[in-house]
Amino acid sequence: NFRNYENLELEFNNNVNVFVGNNAEGKTNILESIYISAITKSYRTGKDIECISFNNEFFRNEHTYIDESNKDKKLEVEVFLDINNKKQIKEDNIKVNRYSD
């Protein structure tokens, strides 16, 4: 339920990834989703609630970051936001209390 995506699963290449498509097909939304996972807020809007797709009550982004030097070392990040603007961030299923962490 993030922007124009109801559900999307991607696996990136270790080298270069290129997003190709017409305008308004969601290329920038993918980048924004990654940014929110890393920085905890959108770079496109001051109101994260605008990232919830139309007629939905929440969005949830889940990302897995893999350490290139140790492929077994992974970090699971989940960002959840509901229409009441309640945000919850988890790292490896543990709630993060301070977004700056």
pLDDT digits (tens, 9 = 90+) for 14-24: 889 999 999 99
% of the chain at pLDDT higher than 70: 100
C-beta of residue 89 within 8 angstroms of C-beta of residue 97: no
pLDDT digits (tens, 9 = 90+) for 85-95: 999 999 999 99
Q: What is the pTM of this model?
A: 0.88
pLDDT digits (tens, 9 = 90+) for 2-47: 999 999 999 998 889 999 999 999 999 999 999 999 999 999 999 9
Q: Find, among 4, 69, 79, 66, the residue nearest to 34 by Cα.
A: 79
Average pLDDT of the segment spanning 62-68: 91
Biggest CA pair distance of the chain: 42
